[in-house]
Chains A and B, each alone.
Chain A
Amino acid sequence: MSKHSVSVTVNGTAHRSEVEARLLLVHYLRDELRLTGTHIGCDTTHCGACTVLLDGKPVKSCTLFAVQADGRSVSTVEGLELGGELHAVQKAFKEEHALQCGFCTPGMMMSAVALLERNPSPSELEIRQAISGNLCRCTGYVNIVKAIQHAAADMRATRHTPAYVPAQEPAQVSR
């Protein structure tokens, strides 16, 4: 299997790796970079547990190859907390009891972050549409919707740093 060199900025840190062409982005994140917050729940791009941001847009990392992220920027759940401060979405998920087993939660929160970056005042319907690619079997969605509304209000009230950091030249290559 041919190997390819990829440079990916993940949560602001540049990484250069040799990967097989077929390596899925989700496995690159989980197995190569040991960022295990991004989960796998299906084989068919339906559950959204693997949702990350690619150049700021939500994507299902089980449906992209690592080589497709070459030269681009990826944000995962591990990058949400900045300087020891939880992201408004993280705080709201806890506050509104928007998680139970926590398995869908990282993907769900990344979809929520992407929504709030582009639409600071989403309606309930817009929130439901934005997370309709993320299945949750535990919470029944009601509290997830509430949490996203809560986070939206918080983010409107305070200045916040976007979760998406543009791709960098691999100056501080970690591996």
Chain B
Amino acid sequence: MTMPHTSPEISGMGHSMKRKEDGRFIRGKGNFVDDVVLPDMLFMDIARSPFPHAKILKIDSSRALATPGVLAVITGRDLEKYNLHMMPTLMSDTQMVLPTDRVVYQSQEVAAVIATSRYAAADGVAAVDVEYDPLPPVVDPYKAIEKGSTLVRPDRKDTNHIWHWEAGDKAATDRVFSEADRTVSQHLYLPRIHVSSIETCGCVASYDKANEKLTVYMTTQAPHAVRTVVALVAGHVGLSEERIRIISPDIGGGFGGKVPVYPGYVIAIAVSFLLGKPVKWIEDRMENLQADSFARDYHIDAELAFKNDGTITGMRIKTLADHGCADAAANPSRFPAGLFSIATGSYDMAAAHIAVDAAYTNKPPGGVAYRCSFRVTEAVHTIERMADIAAHELNMDPAEFRLKNFIRPEQFPYQSATGWSYDSGNYKAALEMAMMKIGYWDLRREQEEKRARGELMGIGISSFTEAVGAGPSHTFDILGLKMFDSCEIRIHPTGKALARFGTKSQGQGHETTYAQIVAQELGIPAAHVQVEEGDTDTAPYGLGTYASRSTPTAGAAGAMAARKIRDKARKIAAYLLEASEDDLEWEPGKFHVRGSPDRAKTIQEIAFAAYTNHPQGMEAGLEATHYYDPPNLTFPFGSYIAVVDIDRGTGEVKVRRFVAVDDCGNVINPMIVDGQIHGGLTQGLAPALMEEIQYDEQGNIQGGSFMDYLLPTAMETPSWELDRTVTPSPHHPLGAKGVAESPTVGAPPAIANAVVDALWHLGVRHIDIPITPFKVWKILREAGVRD
């Protein structure tokens, strides 16, 4: 653990400073989108399709328009007049805002009702009469890509196959496989799941006709990108970028689900523009679960090649990705399958080859990276399951199998077989710490004893490597926008600072963490640094918060901007102290003349001088902006060990213990980092044991509300046991790496491995997540285990 170098008053890196933002939330004074009320505001609600695939024969709005309070009903035909009925997706596909003739998923937006109150708008929705002619839906992606399958997107393609993508060296991998002592193969399905932040999505769009300015309060993780997209899509009707202001107020959790632009936002903006009045749209939970972007939905065939002594030599993966009705995945555009190509994980291997195909089906569009770097979760799940399967086949302990195959510390920077350059790591140290903390070998003995008594207990390891901090502009962009991030710092004459960032917290604690970074670099107490984000009129352009990119990119921008300020401060200090710049030494908060610590100027004195007594000819003020373009991703890692007990009667899996050792490089606020890990682990437990969005063969969503979309409560969530190692990133200005999604990525395979470990002797080789009691109960029945 790195020790803090600044005093508690300054509270730079390493201090568990209490969060600056908490005051308003614990008082109920947060400002979330639904809290925004503007004069004359109208309300919008949306009529949705009961069919997953159907022709729209007729939309009759007359009953709706006769409903008290209803002012307008908007259909796709209305938007078509302004060419606003279609919008681009994040992956250069198109998606309907409102359909003109056909719906392609259940709960798709069909018409919007504008009314004077929430309740009137809902009444209007109930009175919209739509005549449909149902079409056969395409539900299974494997069937979807067969010849002759019903087309989901005849407007785009004459097949439901969207694209094929590969990474790694196919010939070399095939060679490794043909020469391998042994191979294992496994089909895995990572089901469609949903981020389910407790706050749903929504916006208040307000077009001011007199000033020709559009302001949108909106649940978005990337306000600047949204502003640009709105300008690109609606510039032709007069909404050009300087006239658009996107404000992302307090956000009640995002986890990737608030990156995409949903039709509701676009309709609200269009209606406000047309009517010149503010329009509020807030989706309900069922709309959120049924129509917002999903995550995962990867059908994976994986193979691992290895020697008899356990050395992995290669990996081969073929995957079919179900993209729903549009290629709308949130990815850097050069990686249509995201960072799934990081599937070699923490292991050194000679060759690997990854191939992914994507298919259209009659399901909602999307593919968000649910608290993960664009499909790293799928990649880590695959390699960590395969590592366990291989170890068990060899009758080798899964921990020993991993220790044998880890990339060694001296191999960094490490070039992976699929082309990534890992910055730094010490995987062995993390796993050994986790094993020691949990008492690994004692648990293995306990397991043997229990197994002899017929009890079911399993131990599962996941030693993951993450890739976060999107991203270096040479390879990373969203819709062509390169993925740098930014910070602008202004120091006021009295030595207090205002720092604005291009990211947007959804609970990650940026107001505190960023203030600590500025405090670290300038010695201005973190309490005196006001952090702002999420308002495109004031914040510098940035790509937003997702994929654990805030600390790696915007945090770095903050440090760099502060360093620019320090350079200028040095000049002013030299002038004030009548010394040469080269003779000055910096310690957090002041410059002193080398050898005479009493001849010093504090940053506060320098700030005052920057406005009152700066050198003749120097520009006044003390401020700087930095747009940080990372040279590489950062690669945090960790080792997680789960211990599970399985109820022989009910099949219920109880996570008895869970030790998580994380390494995210240098830590800015340990309290916040631990909090992120707690939350991330819980969001890893959820898909491992509960979360799944299923569709029946007719394309009907099964479980589109919290009644049957299960999330962990305090009762199912174990007491997480955390520890960390610190391996700084060599290229990040603060040596930090980013952390928030590591636990979500790392936890599911640890739990799945533990369950399979408990059942291996019964012939079980793999169970797809979520590992529900029913799945396990069936396995136990088949194996003849009864209580």
Task: Say whether A56 faces chain B, with CB atoms less than 8 Å apart.
Answer: no
Stretch among A64-72, A98-106, A156-164 lining the B interface = A98-106
**Complex Cα gap A71–B627 (Å):** 58
Other than the given A27-B118, A137-B195, 6 more pairs (CB < 8 A) read: A104-B198, A105-B25, A128-B715, A140-B679, A141-B678, A142-B719
Task: Say whether A131 faces chain B, with CB atoms less than 8 Å apart.
Answer: yes
Task: Say whether A132 faces chain B, with CB atoms less than 8 Å apart.
Answer: yes
For residue A78, which residues in chain B have a CB less than 8 angstroms away from its CB? 27-28
Question: Could you tell me how many residues of chain A have their Cβ less than 8 Å away from some Cβ of chain B?
Answer: 58
20 interchain pairs (CB within 8 A)? A41-B200, A42-B285, A42-B706, A44-B706, A76-B28, A78-B27, A80-B27, A90-B27, A97-B671, A97-B675, A99-B22, A99-B25, A101-B197, A101-B506, A103-B32, A132-B715, A135-B706, A135-B711, A141-B713, A143-B675
**Complex Cα gap A103–B29 (Å):** 11
Contact B678 A102 (CB under 8 A): no
Q: How far is the CB of A107 from chain B (nearest CB, A)?
A: 9
**Complex Cα gap A37–B23 (Å):** 13
Q: How far is the CB of B519 from chain A (nearest CB, A)?
A: 19
Contact A100 B250 (CB under 8 A): no
Contact B714 A97 (CB under 8 A): no
**Complex Cα gap A94–B16 (Å):** 12
**With contact pairs A97-B675, A101-B506 given, residues A135 and B713 touching in the complex (Cβ less than 8 Å):** yes
Q: How far is the CB of B291 from chain A (nearest CB, A)?
A: 14
For residue A133, which residues in chain B have a CB less than 8 angstroms away from its CB? 713
**With contact pairs A94-B18, A101-B507, A103-B32 given, residues A138 and B253 touching in the complex (Cβ less than 8 Å):** yes
Contact A101 B706 (CB under 8 A): no
Task: Say whether B442 faces chain A, with CB atoms less than 8 Å apart.
Answer: no
Q: How far is the CB of B512 from chain A (nearest CB, A)?
A: 10
The residue that B30 contacts in the complex, of A31, A94, A102, with Cβ under 8 A, is A102
**Complex Cα gap A47–B200 (Å):** 12
For residue B675, which residues in chain A have a CB less than 8 angstroms away from its CB? 97, 100, 139-140, 143
Most chain B Cβ neighbours within 10 Å, of A34, A42, A106, A134: A42
Task: Say whether B589 faces chain A, with CB atoms less than 8 Å apart.
Answer: no
For residue A93, which residues in chain B have a CB less than 8 angstroms away from its CB? 22, 26
Q: Specify the chain A residue showing the minimal Cβ separation from B118.
A: A27
**With contact pairs A46-B706, A132-B714 given, residues A103 and B27 touching in the complex (Cβ less than 8 Å):** no
The residue that A102 contacts in the complex, of B196, B252, B674, with Cβ under 8 A, is B252
For residue A114, which residues in chain B have a CB less than 8 angstroms away from its CB? none
Task: Say whether B396 faces chain A, with CB atoms less than 8 Å apart.
Answer: no
**With contact pairs A135-B713, A138-B679 given, residues A43 and B705 touching in the complex (Cβ less than 8 Å):** yes
Q: Specify the chain A residue showing the minimal Cβ separation from B68.
A: A1
Task: Say whether A53 faces chain B, with CB atoms less than 8 Å apart.
Answer: no
For residue A36, which residues in chain B have a CB less than 8 angstroms away from its CB? 28, 32, 34-35
Task: Say whether B119 faces chain A, with CB atoms less than 8 Å apart.
Answer: yes
**With contact pairs A139-B678, A143-B675 given, residues A90 and B118 touching in the complex (Cβ less than 8 Å):** no
Task: Say whether A173 faces chain B, with CB atoms less than 8 Å apart.
Answer: no
Task: Say whether B452 faces chain A, with CB atoms less than 8 Å apart.
Answer: no
Task: Say whether A10 faces chain B, with CB atoms less than 8 Å apart.
Answer: no
Task: Say whether A74 faces chain B, with CB atoms less than 8 Å apart.
Answer: no
Task: Say whether B421 faces chain A, with CB atoms less than 8 Å apart.
Answer: no
Contact A81 B683 (CB under 8 A): no
Give a binary string over A87-130; 1 marks a CB under 8 Å from any B CB, 0 the rest.
00010011101011111111001000000000000000001110
Q: Specify the chain B residue showing the minimal Cβ separation from A95.
A: B18
Q: How far is the CB of B693 from chain A (nearest CB, A)?
A: 16
Q: Specify the chain A residue showing the minimal Cβ separation from B31.
A: A36
**With contact pairs A37-B29, A99-B26 given, residues A140 and B720 touching in the complex (Cβ less than 8 Å):** yes
For residue B507, which residues in chain A have a CB less than 8 angstroms away from its CB? 99-103, 138
Q: How far is the CB of A109 from chain B (nearest CB, A)?
A: 7
Q: Specify the chain B residue showing the minimal Cβ separation from A24.
A: B119
Q: How far is the CB of A144 from chain B (nearest CB, A)?
A: 7
Contact A140 B681 (CB under 8 A): yes
The residue that A137 contacts in the complex, of B27, B255, B672, with Cβ under 8 A, is B255
**Complex Cα gap A86–B21 (Å):** 15
Q: How far is the CB of B263 from chain A (nearest CB, A)?
A: 20
Most chain B Cβ neighbours within 10 Å, of A41, A44, A144: A41
**Complex Cα gap A99–B678 (Å):** 11
Top 6 A-B residue pairs of the complex, sorted by shortest distance between their CB atoms: A37-B28, A102-B25, A103-B252, A101-B507, A140-B678, A100-B507
Give a binary string over B695-707; 1 marks a CB under 8 Å from any A CB, 0 the rest.
0000000000111
For residue A145, which residues in chain B have a CB less than 8 angstroms away from its CB? 714, 719
Contact A101 B705 (CB under 8 A): no
Task: Say whether A49 faces chain B, with CB atoms less than 8 Å apart.
Answer: yes
For residue B19, which residues in chain A have a CB less than 8 angstroms away from its CB? 94, 97
Task: Say whether B317 faces chain A, with CB atoms less than 8 Å apart.
Answer: no
Contact A102 B22 (CB under 8 A): yes
Contact B285 A41 (CB under 8 A): yes
For residue A40, which residues in chain B have a CB less than 8 angstroms away from its CB? 34
**Complex Cα gap A38–B456 (Å):** 44
Contact B119 A103 (CB under 8 A): no
Contact A44 B705 (CB under 8 A): yes
The residue that B678 contacts in the complex, of A80, A101, A143, with Cβ under 8 A, is A143
Give a binary string over B548-571; 1 marks a CB under 8 Å from any A CB, 0 the rest.
000000000000000000000000
For residue B679, which residues in chain A have a CB less than 8 angstroms away from its CB? 100, 137-140
For residue B28, which residues in chain A have a CB less than 8 angstroms away from its CB? 35-38, 76-78, 106
Task: Say whether A15 faces chain B, with CB atoms less than 8 Å apart.
Answer: no
Task: Say whether B471 faces chain A, with CB atoms less than 8 Å apart.
Answer: no
Q: How far is the CB of B715 from chain A (nearest CB, A)?
A: 5
Contact A20 B119 (CB under 8 A): yes
**Complex Cα gap A97–B672 (Å):** 8
Task: Say whether B251 faces chain A, with CB atoms less than 8 Å apart.
Answer: yes
Q: How far is the CB of B206 from chain A (nearest CB, A)?
A: 18
For residue B24, which residues in chain A have a CB less than 8 angstroms away from its CB? 102
Task: Say whether A22 faces chain B, with CB atoms less than 8 Å apart.
Answer: yes
**Complex Cα gap A153–B523 (Å):** 36
Interface residues of B in 8-52 (CB under 8 A from A): 18-19, 21-30, 32, 34-35, 37
**With contact pairs A93-B22, A97-B672 given, residues A141 and B717 touching in the complex (Cβ less than 8 Å):** yes
Task: Say whether A54 faces chain B, with CB atoms less than 8 Å apart.
Answer: no
The residue that A94 contacts in the complex, of B22, B680, B714, with Cβ under 8 A, is B22
Q: How far is the CB of A76 from chain B (nearest CB, A)?
A: 7
**Complex Cα gap A38–B713 (Å):** 20
Task: Say whether B447 faces chain A, with CB atoms less than 8 Å apart.
Answer: no
